[in-house]
Amino acid sequence: MNEVYARPAEYGVGSWRCRGYGELVTAVLPLDSSYAQRLDAGDPLARFRDRFARPADPSLIYLDGNSLGPLPLATQARIAEVVGTEWGHGLVRSWHSWVGLPREVGDLIGRHLIGAGPGQVLVSDSTTVNLFKLANAALDARPGRRVIVTDDDNFPTDRYVLQGIAEQRGYELRMIHTDMDLGVSEEVLAAALDREVALVSLSHVAYRSGALADMRQITRIVHDAGALMLWDLCHSAGSVPIELDASGADLAIGCTYKYLNAGPGAPAFLYVREELAYRLRQPVWGWFGQNDQFAMGPSYDPVPGIEHFSAGTPPIIGTVAVQEGTKLLAEAGIDLLRAKGIALTSYLIHLADEWLVTYGFRLASPRADARRGSHVTLYHPDAWRISQALISVGVIGDYRTPDRLRLGPVPITTRFIDVWDALDRLRQLAADETYKALPAEISRVT
Ligand X SMILES: Cc1ncc(COP(=O)(O)O)c(C=O)c1O
Number of residues that bind ligand X (CB under 6 A): 13
Edge-first strand listing for the sheet containing 22-25 = 5-6, 16-18, 22-25
Indicate whether 388 belongs to the interface with ligand X (CB under 6 A): no
Q: How far is the CB of 256 from ligand X (least distance, A)?
A: 9
Cβ partners under 8 Å of residue 160, min gap 6: none
Is the distance from CB of 375 to CB of 406 less than 8 angstroms?
yes
Among 126, 163, 185, 388, binds ligand X (CB under 6 A): 126
Catalytic residue among 21, 48, 132, 155: 155
Active site residue 415: no
Scanning 166-174, 232-240, 244-252, 291-299 for contacts with ligand X by CB under 6 A, the matching segment is 232-240
Indicate whether 107 belongs to the interface with ligand X (CB under 6 A): no
Indicate whether 114 belongs to the interface with ligand X (CB under 6 A): no
Indicate whether 127 belongs to the interface with ligand X (CB under 6 A): yes
Scanning 41-49, 121-129, 309-317, 411-419 for contacts with ligand X by CB under 6 A, the matching segment is 121-129
Environment class of 333 (CB within 10 Å of its CB; exposed 0-12, middle 13-18, buried 19+): middle
Active site residue 151: no
Among 94, 157, 185, 388, binds ligand X (CB under 6 A): 157
Closer by beta carbon to ligand X, 201 or else 345: 201
Scanning 32-40, 120-128, 416-424, 437-445 for contacts with ligand X by CB under 6 A, the matching segment is 120-128
Indicate whether 404 belongs to the interface with ligand X (CB under 6 A): no
Among 5, 48, 52, 207, binds ligand X (CB under 6 A): 207
Interatomic CA distance for residues 232 and 154, integer angstroms: 9
Active site residue 232: yes
Closer by beta carbon to ligand X, 184 or else 429: 184
Among 43, 64, 153, 232, binds ligand X (CB under 6 A): 232
Catalytic residue among 107, 181, 232, 398: 232
Indicate whether 261 belongs to the interface with ligand X (CB under 6 A): no
Scanning 35-43, 230-238, 296-304, 399-407 for contacts with ligand X by CB under 6 A, the matching segment is 230-238
Is the distance from CB of 152 to CB of 175 less than 8 angstroms?
yes
Indicate whether 338 belongs to the interface with ligand X (CB under 6 A): no
Catalytic residue among 7, 406, 415, 427: 406
Of 186-205, which residues contact ligand X (CB under 6 A)?
203
Interatomic CA distance for residues 340 and 346, integer angstroms: 10
Among 166, 230, 268, 342, binds ligand X (CB under 6 A): 268
Footprint on this chain of ligand X (rule: CB under 6 A) = 126-128, 155, 157-158, 203, 207, 232, 234-235, 255, 268
Catalytic center residues: 155, 232, 257-258, 406
